[in-house]
């Protein structure tokens, strides 16, 4: 039986990073208190309505506090939210419970209290060890804050820690990125999420680049950085299991695997998305105030529901499955969807194989490293 994941959004940050387009705003204690009440009410309403439906998977083995900066919640607030989740779902004893944490936001007392609540994985937003780049990104912490927070987490008993690092920062050189990789790998986190910077329109960073304040690394530099991250992580014993994710043995993000394997997940909080694992996706109001108002009025803030056709599910199975470096088993795909990809996408497959973006080996279709870098081009063929 496929177990579900639960996602819990926290829409608060200390300040706004220049590249960020997430649904998050400045921390405000009164709004945070109101938001936590709304979030627990949304979960309880789900328990009283939708979770009673036989088609909803109540068995949950991953919980993920994402944001925003969930480590700005007090342990008491996190406890209230977890109590609501545990009352609504059958949460397995060995559940992976992750909290995204930003450097400098977690005191030793808070880290110990989060750990005592059963939060057993920290996803740690480092981004870079270069203070000048941190300033340019509008981050409020220094590299030393990051090192200290990691020590705090380890001392509190967090034995499963993931680092987020961004490559391709404005004006960043391959040598600078290489030094970031060296330092990250020397700290031996169990998991690494290594992203190439995406510049989202409407963010201050996009504006600065348009005005010529910063230059983005060109495509060749970005490719060199991606190649370097794959090589270094692999030499250090990390498995490259998803386009941007690397882990020590057995330390994949069990929660994020739900998204890539079309398992059910239920999202609570503003902008949260859900999937029933079969044919329906739904999403919540993005704005924090409007989310609170909607939940206070009706117990729910769902603003959009999509029913997936068989064709949608078949396409999703391909482009989500291809995010995993193990790729997609074409025989199983054909058995599930009646779709013989080798026949229906013969031209695309030949084109991508010639360009060195994919390989097919014993019925397994997978991206090559070059394909992982240009994955959106490949995915577009399957949408
Ligand atoms: S800490 Fe993360 S979520 Fe918050 S503004 Fe920065 S990038 Fe966005």
Residue 35 falls inside a structural domain: yes
Which 3 state secondary structure label does DSSP give 357?
coil
Nearest to 189 by CA among 201, 197, 181, 198: 181
Mutate to test the pocket of ligand 1, among 20, 193, 195 (most ligand atoms within 8 A of CB): 20
| Number of domains, the chain | 2
Residue 315 falls inside a structural domain: no
Residue 201 sits in the same domain as residue 334: no
Q: Domain containing 139 — which CATH number?
A: 3.20.20.70
Residue 147 sits in the same domain as residue 230: yes
Q: Give the pLDDT score at 147.
A: 93
Last residue of a domain, one of 212, 227, 260: 260
Which 3 state secondary structure label does DSSP give 309?
coil
Q: Give the pLDDT score at 233.
A: 97
Last residue of a domain, one of 235, 260, 285: 260
Residue 109 sits in the same domain as residue 216: yes
C-alpha distance across the termini of the chain, in Å? 28
Q: Give this prediction's pTM.
A: 0.95
For residue 297, CA distances in Å to 8, 282, 290 come to 20, 19, 10
Residue 166 falls inside a structural domain: yes
Mutate to test the pocket of ligand 1, among 9, 16, 134, 286 (most ligand atoms within 8 A of CB): 16
Q: How far is the CA of 191 from the centre of ligand 1 (A)?
A: 20
Mutate to test the pocket of ligand 1, among 12, 27, 65, 69 (most ligand atoms within 8 A of CB): 69
Tokens of 290: 């409007």
Residue 199 sits in the same domain as residue 67: yes
Residue 336 sits in the same domain as residue 239: no
- Per DSSP, helices labelled H in the chain are 29-48, 75-88, 108-116, 131-136, 143-155, 174-186, 204-210, 219-235, 254-260, 288-298, 310-321, 330-337, 341-344, 346-354, 369-373, 375-380
Residue 281 falls inside a structural domain: no
Residue 365 sits in the same domain as residue 235: no
Residue 222 sits in the same domain as residue 78: yes
101-116 b/e (C-beta count within 10 Å ≥ 16 → b): bbbbbbeeebbbbbbe
Domain range for 20 is 4-260
Last residue of a domain, one of 223, 242, 260: 260
Question: What is the rounded distance in angstroms from the CA atom of residue 26 to the CA atom of residue 70?
Answer: 12
pLDDT in tens, the chain (383 residues): 789 999 999 999 988 889 988 888 899 999 999 999 999 999 999 998 887 777 788 999 999 999 999 999 999 999 999 999 999 999 999 999 999 999 988 999 999 999 999 999 999 999 999 999 999 898 989 999 999 999 999 999 999 999 999 999 988 999 999 999 999 999 999 999 999 998 899 999 899 988 988 888 788 998 999 999 999 999 999 999 999 999 999 999 999 999 999 999 999 999 999 999 988 999 999 999 999 999 999 999 999 999 999 999 999 999 999 999 999 999 999 999 998 999 999 999 999 999 999 999 878 999 999 999 999 999 998 88
Question: What is the rounded distance in angstroms from the CA atom of residue 375 to the CA atom of residue 223?
Answer: 12
Ligand 1: residues with CB < 6 A are 13, 16-17, 20, 22, 24, 67-69, 102, 125
Residue 10 sits in the same domain as residue 155: yes
Residue 114 falls inside a structural domain: yes
């Amino acid at each position: 039986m496929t177990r579900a994941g639960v996602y819990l959004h926290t829409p608060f940050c200390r300040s706004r990073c220049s590249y960020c387009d997430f649904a998050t705003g400045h921390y405000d204690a009164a709004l945070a208190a109101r938001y936590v009440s709304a979030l627990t009410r949304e979960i309880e309403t789900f328990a009283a309505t939708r979770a009673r439906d036989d088609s909803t998977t109540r068995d949950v083995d991953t919980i993920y506090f994402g944001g925003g900066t969930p480590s700005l919640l007090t342990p008491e607030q996190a406890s209230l939210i977890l109590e609501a989740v545990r009352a609504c779902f059958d949460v397995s004893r060995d559940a992976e419970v992750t909290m995204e944490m930003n450097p400098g936001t977690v005191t030793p007392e808070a880290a110990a209290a989060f750990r005592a609540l059963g939060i057993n994985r920290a996803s740690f937003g480092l981004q870079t060890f270069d203070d000048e780049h941190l300033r340019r990104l509008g981050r409020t912490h220094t590299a030393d804050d990051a090192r200290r927070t990691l020590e705090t987490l380890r001392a509190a008993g967090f034995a499963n820690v993931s680092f987020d690092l961004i490559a391709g920062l404005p004006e960043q050189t391959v040598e600078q990125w290489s030094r970031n990789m060296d330092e990250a790998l020397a700290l031996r986190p169990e998991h690494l999420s290594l992203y190439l910077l995406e510049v989202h329109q409407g963010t201050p960073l996009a504006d600065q680049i348009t005005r010529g304040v910063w230059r983005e690394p060109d495509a060749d530099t970005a490719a060199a950085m991606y190649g370097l991250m794959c090589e270094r992580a692999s030499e250090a014993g990390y498995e490259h299991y998803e386009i941007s994710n690397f882990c020590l043995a057995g330390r994949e993000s069990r929660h994020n695997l739900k998204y890539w394997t079309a398992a059910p997940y239920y999202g609570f909080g503003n902008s949260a998305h859900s999937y029933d694992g079969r044919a329906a996706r739904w999403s919540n109001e993005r704005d924090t105030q409007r989310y609170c108002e909607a939940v206070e009025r009706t117990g729910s803030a769902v603003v959009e529901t999509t029913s997936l056709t068989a064709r949608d599910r078949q396409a999703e199975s391909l482009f989500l499955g291809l995010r995993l470096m193990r790729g997609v088993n074409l025989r199983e795909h054909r058995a599930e969807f009646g779709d013989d990809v080798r026949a229906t996408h013969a031209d695309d497959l030949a084109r991508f194989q010639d360009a060195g973006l994919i390989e097919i080996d014993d019925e397994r279709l997978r991206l090559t490293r070059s394909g992982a870098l240009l994955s959106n081009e490949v995915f577009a063929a399957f949408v």
